[in-house]
Chain A
Amino acid sequence: MTATMAIPTQKTAIETVDLSVSYNGKSALRNVNLAFPENAVTALIGPSGCGKSTLLRALNRMNDRIPGVDIRGKVLLNGKDIYARGVNLTRLRREVGMVFQKPNPFPMSIFENVALGPRLHYGLRGRALREVVEDALRKAALWDEVKDELHKSGLALSGGQQQRLCIARMLAVQPRILLMDEPCSALDPISTQKIEELIIELGKQYTVIVVTHNLQQAARISHYTGFLMYGEVIEWGETRQLFERPRRPETEDYIRGRFG
């Protein structure tokens, strides 16, 4: 077991212990020991196929359904292993929300998209439900744009608005940890900027973990950054330190654009 990479001064929100993932015997992630600090934005960067998305999806067990997947090690949330026998996936995902690369609003109204989670998880209805929906849409910086057309289809929105709708949908479930898998890679620059501002804002109240292939984005939005290569964490630290004074030569080569 390698030493857990943690930020000593920070409380840990979620932590991996010797986490390894393979698909059909092909290793995708090897012995990852990371402690993600609470109420901060952590970016995961690295070349394509380095395992950063696999790592992210391991944190709310979204890899489980992939045929041929083998997951070893632990992921500790509130001190408990989320891969332990008998863990309730609904409870886990209520606490650990996720947004995907391509916006995936459900084929229903804007309101219904956001209301579905709180209705099913907390049995909210009527005024309480409407208030939760409004609160989530406000936190996702979408409320002012959609407040008069909540009954319209979520798919009628622009790509950037759809992604913010997906963020609102996630926030309405009241999670503490937000996982984002390249949330801007399908968006235009202006939408990207809005989502980036949103992520910075969310980082004040939530533990946000963002996978990105955009190094400038990682530098702009995150407090901490992990650099992955070949399924291993090469370097981990405060974003500024990692970008300005990388400790490992691989990190330096990557962020100077020599490969990847």
Chain B
Amino acid sequence: MIEAARSKVVPVAEWEVLAARQDVRRARKNALLTSIFGAVGLATVLLVFVLVAIIAYKGAPTISWEFLTQPPREGMSAGGVAPMILGSLLLMLGAFLLATPLGVFGGICLAEYGERSRLMRLMHASVAALAGTPPIVYGLFGLAIFVLKFHFGVSLIAGWCTLTLFCVPSIVLTTESALKTVPAALIDGGLALGLSRWQTLWRIALPYALPGILTGIILSLGRAVGEATPVLFTASVYYSTAEMTLGWDTLRQPVANLPYYLAEGYRQPGVVPERLIWGACLTLIILTLLLNAGAILIRSRMRRRYL
């Protein structure tokens, strides 16, 4: 008999009664918490869904081949947003080419030397603070330094420099944390094989961390492409009807871009029809969604390959 072994602190038959009471309490608490978390989760998803649904509903009718490939016409009141899309893509491309090496290299430095050196700990703290700095601060800094001090003027190249500054801190941080997920056993394996520290980093740690690093870069660019303030004073032009011709001159000229078009267009309700604004809004969202989808795709592809 089990009962024989049970403690006499409570009458032997009572144990089951006590347990049953606790079972009821536990079930009640479980149900309560499950419904709270479920409701909060649902609310969050709904919020995002409704937001995207409204923009899609308002913007979808505007989106057409013409809207995506034609410049604005009739004093911005008709036509498409091709120069804005092109400008946004150009800004992003430049930021990608400049910020990637800087950010990845910085992340490597922090991950490799971060714990031992006081200087690197200070750098880590600074970079983390920079990553949380509001984008308008980058915009003003870019205006003061690149546009005025370096005499770049309001231009694509000033926008590149500003967006690069904006992207580098988050790329540094994601690179650093991706490198820190590399198992110590792999590093030991490389070193025991006689590989130098840099060979171990280059041949073993970086490939292992690459999906995480690429995801970080893409997410950072996705954020940058949607921000108006870094390029507001540094690279943007609002009224652009000219056929865009790409060349060396483009570097020194300002470019139209989607977020600036949205901000400025919305401030002048009489000029730009609302349907164009909604259309541009949806275009921008689709652009960032594509970037994020790309990030997810890259990550899963690479993980599947050897991990």
Contact = CB atoms under 8 A, between A and B. Distances in A.
B42 interface: no
A62 B190 contact: no
B193 A117 contact: yes
A93 B307 contact: no
Interface string A64-105: 010000000000000000000000011111100110101011
Interface stretch (A106-114, A138-146, A197-205, A240-248): A106-114
Interface in B229-285: none
Contact of A90 (B185, B196, B203): B196
B207 A94 contact: no
Contact of A120 (B185, B189, B199): B199
Interface in B192-214: 192-196, 199, 203-204, 207-208
A155 B193 CA distance: 18
Interface string A221-258: 00000000000000000000000000000000000000
B254 to A, nearest CB: 45
Given A100-B185, A153-B305, A153-B306, A108 B207 contact: yes
Contacts of B20: none
A92 B204 CA distance: 20
A152 to B, nearest CB: 9
Contact of A107 (B188, B195, B208): B208
A173 interface: yes
A169 B193 contact: yes
B193 A60 contact: no
B204 A100 contact: no
Nearest to A166: B189
A130 interface: no
Majority SS at the chain B contact face:
helix
A170 B191 CA distance: 11
B194 A104 contact: no
A125 interface: no
A150 B207 CA distance: 19
Nearest to B116: A67
A60 B194 CA distance: 10
Interface string A147-181: 00000011100000000001001100100000000
B183 interface: yes
Most chain-A CB neighbours within 10 Å: which of B185, B192, B204, B306? B192
A121 interface: yes
Interface residues of A, number: 30
A104 B186 contact: yes
Contacts of A89: 191, 194, 196
Interface in A11-28: none
B193 A107 contact: no
A187 interface: no
Given A100-B185, A104-B185, A107-B208, A116 B191 contact: no
B306 A155 contact: yes
B306 A97 contact: no
Contact of A93 (B185, B194, B208): B194
B198 to A, nearest CB: 11
A109 B305 CA distance: 9
Contacts of B195: 90, 116, 120
A100 B307 contact: no
Contacts of A92: 194
Contacts of A105: 189
A116 B207 CA distance: 14
B185 A62 contact: no
Interface string B276-307: 00000000000000000000000000000111
Given A89-B194, A106-B204, A108-B207, A100 B189 contact: yes
A117 B194 contact: yes
B188 A62 contact: yes
Interface of B: 183, 185-186, 188-196, 199, 203-204, 207-208, 305-307
16 contacts: A60-B192, A89-B196, A97-B193, A100-B185, A100-B188, A100-B189, A104-B186, A105-B189, A106-B203, A107-B307, A108-B207, A117-B194, A120-B194, A121-B194, A155-B307, A166-B189
Given A100-B189, A106-B186, A120-B199, 19 more contacts: A60-B192, A62-B188, A62-B192, A89-B194, A93-B191, A100-B185, A104-B183, A106-B204, A108-B207, A109-B306, A117-B193, A120-B195, A120-B203, A121-B194, A153-B305, A169-B189, A169-B193, A170-B192, A170-B193
In the A-B complex, the 10 residue pairs with the smallest Cβ-Cβ separation, listed nearest first, are: A93-B194, A98-B192, A104-B185, A153-B306, A107-B306, A104-B189, A94-B194, A90-B194, A117-B193, A107-B307
